Amino acid sequence: MKNIMFLILLMLSGKVFGLQCPDDEAGLVILTPMIVDSPVIKPVVDDLIDAAASAADRAGLTILVIPGEAATILAYRAFAQCPNIKAFFNIAHGDVSYMEAADGKLTAKEIGDMFKFNHKTFFYNFSCHGFENPIKDAFISKAKASRYVGPMGSCTVGEHIDTYVTLCFWDSAFTSTDFTSLIGDCEAEYQDKFPGQKTRFKVGGNGRPFIMSPLMAETILDRSEL
């Protein structure tokens, strides 16, 4: 994927994020402040990153990945300043009133004050209790995400339908016009693998998802490998 960039080197080299957009060309930003040492969980997180990045790459977007200890509060604040981001994907610990960055908690109030999506950006929050207030309200009513996806209750990174629904979701995220139906279809796809399980992920927001141009979609459908 030619459009992907990992920003951990900026952090390790001592170049900290200032309160300005690190890259005006950023189209998808993936933040994974979870420090994952588990040989079971880390490959799953890597697969989630790859799924989102591959979909964004097919849509012609520039992808920035801010992993582990580089995903600080300052990094979130800096990317909140970026004017052209179409989507965020956040994989982090959290609760009803906050989500965790690598160096502390971002409260629902801080999130609502920080992000100004103006119904132009969607946010997928793989963080426990992400679809419960006040954090849900911070993203939908205050930050005005075009679409907001998060779990009602806890969520599981691993052999659980939540993970597989998320992988499936990203495969069509940049061409779908209906995220609610997409989540439902992805859940149905994995019922044989996880009989009786229901995904905890829900969809809210009043704007439109990012949709690639028909020409780009047609070009992608004509290519077997990207």
pLDDT in the model for residue 219: 41
Instruction: Assign residue 214 the CATH number of its domain.
Output: 3.40.50.1460
pLDDT band (50, 70, 90) for residue 83: confident
Q: What is the pTM of this model?
A: 0.88
pLDDT in the model for residue 212: 60
pLDDT in the model for residue 218: 42
- Residue 118: inside a domain: yes
- Residue 214: inside a domain: yes
pLDDT digits (tens, 9 = 90+) for 134-167: 999 999 999 999 999 999 999 989 999 999 999 9
Residue with tokens 């779908």: 176
- Residue 128: inside a domain: yes
pLDDT digits (tens, 9 = 90+) for 103-129: 999 999 999 999 999 889 999 999 999
- Residue 20: inside a domain: yes
Please, how many CA atoms are within 13 Å of residue 203, restricted to the half-sphere of its CB? 19
pLDDT in the model for residue 193: 96
CA distances (Å), 26 to each of 35, 66, 86, 141, in order?
A: 24, 12, 8, 24
pLDDT digits (tens, 9 = 90+) for 171-226: 999 999 899 999 999 999 999 999 999 999 999 997 777 766 444 444 434 333 33
- Residue 195: inside a domain: yes
pLDDT in the model for residue 172: 95
Domain that holds residue 89: 4-221
pLDDT band (50, 70, 90) for residue 41: confident
Please give the Cα distance from 204 to 137 (Å, whole number): 10
How many domains does one find in the chain? 1
Please give the Cα distance from 223 to 142 (Å, whole number): 40
- Residue 226: inside a domain: no
pLDDT band (50, 70, 90) for residue 11: very low
